[in-house]
Amino acid sequence: AQSVTQLDSHVSVSEGTPVLLRCNYSSSYSPSLFWYVQHPNKGLQLLLKYTSAATLVKGINGFEAEFKKSETSFHLTKPSAHMSDAAEYFCVVSDSSDKIIFGKGTRLHILP
């Protein structure tokens, strides 16, 4: 059975400092992993996805994530936070068992 755990419900960072949002997954099969962002009153938007190609995945707006099979992790990072990054972030796992599972989300706060 699949599962996904976002380890922090809230993360606060100062503008210009690095961002780390943590995600661990469990899957019986080779997974696809995604990060989606949800800005207030806006639809979910794909940031990046991993589908068994390069383990370091680059996404939009300077975000990237690294797939680590040994640690069953897919953490999202950004070198320098911007005020516009304040939003809810969801880690998603999908595999050939056809199930799609969203994490509970991490709300990112950017301090001026």
Give SS3 for 60: helix
Does residue 15 interact with another protein by CB under 8 A? no
Element at 67 (helix H, strand E): strand 64-68
Does residue 69 interact with another protein by CB under 8 A? no
Nearest to 78 by CA among 42, 35, 33: 35
State how far Cα 55 lies from the chain centre.
14
Q: Which residues, 23 to 62, sit near another protein by CB under 8 A? A: 32, 34, 36, 41-46, 49, 51-52
Using CB under 8 A, pick the residue from 40, 70, 98, 112 that binds another protein. Answer: 98
**Residues in the site for another protein, rule: CB under 8 A?**
32, 34, 36, 41-46, 49, 51-52, 90, 94-96, 98-100, 102-105
